[in-house]
Amino acid sequence: MDYALTMSTHIQDLIGFRISRRSVLRGAAATLVGTRPFGGSAAAKAVDGFEELRQGQDDQVHWPYGTHSMDLVVSWGDPLWSDVPRWEGGQTTAAAQARQFGDCNDFIAFSPLPRGSGGSVHGLLTVNHEFTQAATMFVGHDDPKAPERVAAEMNGHGMSVVEVKLSSAGWAIVKDGKFNRRITLHTPMSLTGPVAGHERVKTEADPTGRTVAGTLANCGGGTTPWGTVLSGEENVNFYWNGSVDGEGLRQAGHRAMGIGEHQYWHFSVVDPRFDLALSPTEPNRFGWVVEIDPYRPESVPKKRTALGRFFHEGAELVVDISGHVVVYMGDDSPDEHLYRFVSKGRFVAGESAANEALLAEGVLSVAVFSDQGLRWAPLKHEGVLAEHFESLADILIDTRIAAKLVGATAMDRPERVAAHPTNGKIYVMLTQNPDRKKSGPGNPRENNLWGQILEISPGVGGHTQETMAWTVMLEGGPRGVATTAPAPPSTSKDGLLACPDNAIFDSSGRLWVCTDGNERLNSDGPKSADALYVVDTEGPMRGRSRLFLRACAGAELTGPCFTPDGQTLFVSVQHPGYMGPYEYSGVWPQGEGTGPPRSTVVALRRKAGGPIL
């Protein structure tokens, strides 16, 4: 078999590396203006409870301050326990970072306290730390391979579980909270499902192939009805030293994931498992969905191999009418695919132990789009896949290769998937794909710079059926570039968006969309910072987007998350001030003279009380 034929045609150096896409901001420092948060122009009108913001870019985060308040909840480097050193700009150490809030926060999940209470003023935030930002973590340090620096970066990755509480002063962390936890690249995790114990995940350190040290590149995620949190390992390819030589399935699998093309974080300096020559199977232990129980700090996180291995942007879980658990997932790279997992077992309310096993066994499928609809092609060890793979475990390790063999549709960077709370429809964020040569079903534009949002309708057969209907709900970009689903006339110039990324629904069925590439809106005019938009999905305003929250220069907004009562919206402000791999600007959120900018989780509430909108 010619394995080269199954690989992505656009794998390049740094493909999918999110902060590299912010290089267009390099000149932003010269145009920074204003220091006060604002809610838009005086002429703007309040619609549905807030005054839409104006597009723009400066060194502040902006929100509708007339109607809403914003709390700074927790920032990179904040100690989670009283015996941990306080953060000092540019002075990060490995020992301190292991017990401080991690860097570049992304996905957020809110878990009420006590468990199962549905409360909204006291709970746990489980937060992903996608990567570390060297320019701000090591101000004045020039050697990217210095062992003490590498060790600190390793501990800046992973996840944090932080107890938070709302008081009259706003949202704040509970230092020394009994649930507080840091999960790093040294935290033991269990491999579960078909890949557990397979030869291709065995290493010298783990000859059983069942226990992995840590997680990395954690981007999007999801939650389960049994109270656990799902975290997707995304850009896992930038961590290994060495090249991939030779032919065969192992080498093809590494190449399909971009392993060995570029090492951005030099973990191999302090840990031999990140040297391909010493541990060639270690990369196969990353690229999974991780399930953790935030209520049990002593519990061992589980890597759910039945959900496949690729660049996981998130994991949107729904319980089908049949009782089967269904997880929708995007592979965040150009020309990669959209996936669906259907559990073998059925969900039973109140049966925690049984429900926690639902993600260990089931059928993973990949989306094949056509003008007639969407078909889910199963990735089973049969037919063409049995001809090329020795086992289901091999298929799941090399999910990307298997998907192409069954004819999966190459997509425009499928990222977060969001499920509508009442109508059962699924919405897929497709960020962009400038290398697309030909338009097609689900991907309406060549050289797609602006992305689109798809709407998938499961129909009467529910989320487990083989075929579904789909449509393009909204194409991003400035007016005049859409081909099938332009922004409706009700969308203001400030409400236009580009490159949809993270997303979540509120209880009223409004879709909240974060962007990753909004600067592409105004190539000839003022820069547009990445932002959070409210998008109507039903009724006469369907497709209308409105600008609610605007990031500071260099930042991306990620991980929007509501409390159960809908009165607090948590958002991650990720890598503020990013100007390049070793450059930054601004000092948000601290202020002048307080050190470099810091990734931060913020909480927005309505001043008058009640739901956000």
Give the Cα separation of 335 and 542 in Å (integer): 28
Number of neighbours of residue 486 by Cβ within 10 angstroms: 17
Amino acid 286 reads: F
Structure tokens at 485: 């689903």
Phi-psi map region of 224: left, alpha, beta (phi>0 left; psi -120 to 50 alpha): beta
Residue 102: other Cβ atoms inside 10 A: 26
Range of the domain at 194: 187-332+337-409
Distance of CA 450 to the CA centre of its chain: 18
Kindly report, residue by residue over 304-335, the tens digit of the pLDDT. 999 999 999 999 999 999 999 999 999 999 99
Burial class (CB in 10 A: 0-12, 13-18, 19+), 86: exposed
Q: What span, in angstroms and rounded, lies between the C-alpha atoms of 453 and 362? A: 28
CB atoms within 10 A of CB 20: 15
Q: 10-57: per-residue pLDDT in tens?
A: 222 222 333 333 333 333 332 222 223 333 333 334 457 899 999 999
Q: Tokens 């991003």 — which residue?
A: 476
In a domain, 137, yes or no: no
Q: What is the pLDDT of residue 351?
A: 85
Q: For residues 258 and 251, give the distance between their C-alpha atoms in angstroms, rounded to a whole number.
A: 10
DSSP per-residue letters across 55-105: P---SS-B--TTTEEEEEEEETT-BSSTTSPPP-TT---HHHHTTB--SSE
Look at strands 229-233 and 289-292 and give their pairing: antiparallel
Residue 248 falls within a domain, yes or no?
yes
In a domain? residue 364: yes
Neighbours of 54 (CB within 10 A): 18
Residue 441 lies in a domain: no
Instruction: Read off the DSSP letter of residue 434.
Output: T
- Tens of pLDDT, residue by residue over 127-160, are 999 999 988 998 877 788 999 999 999 999 999 9
Q: Does residue 558 form part of some domain?
A: no
Extract the runs of DSSP E, i.e. beta strands, from 286-403: 289-292, 302-304, 316-319, 324-330, 338-346, 362-370, 373-378
In this structure, the number of other CB atoms found within 10 A of the CB of residue 352 comes to 14
- Amino acid letter, 586: G
β-pair partners for 172: 165
Which contacts (CB < 8 Å, 24+ apart) does range 25-31 have?
Answer: 25/57, 25/519, 25/527, 25/553, 25/554, 25/578, 25/579, 26/579, 26/580, 26/583, 28/57, 28/527, 28/553, 28/554, 28/579, 28/585, 29/553, 29/579, 29/585, 29/586, 31/57, 31/58, 31/527
Asked whether the CA dihedral 25, 30, 34, 39 is positive or negative, the reply is negative
One-letter amino acid identity for 391?
A: S
Considering the domain boundaries, does residue 306 fall inside one?
A: yes
pLDDT at 353: 84
Give the 3-state secondary structure of residue 526: coil
Instruction: Please classify residue 43 by burial: count the beta carbons closer than 10 Å to its beta carbon, then call 0-12 exposed, 13-18 middle and 19+ buried.
Output: exposed
Distance CA 6, CA 27 (A): 39
- For the chain, list residues with pLDDT below 50: 1-46
Q: How far apart are CA 402 and CA 394, in angstroms?
A: 9
pTM: 0.92
What is the reported pLDDT for 591? Answer: 81
Confidence (pLDDT) at 250: 83
**For residue 352, what pLDDT is reported?**
82
**Residue 88, pLDDT score:** 87
30-42: string of b/e by CB count within 10 Å (b at 16+)? eeeeeeeebbbee
Q: How many domains does the chain have?
A: 1
| The token pair that represents 497 in the structure block | 């968006």
Instruction: With respect to residue 102, please indicate whether it lies within any of the assigned structural domains.
Output: no
Within a domain: residue 283?
A: yes
The encoded tokens of residue 133 equal 């930002």
Short-list 98, 81, 99, 78, CA closest to 89: 78
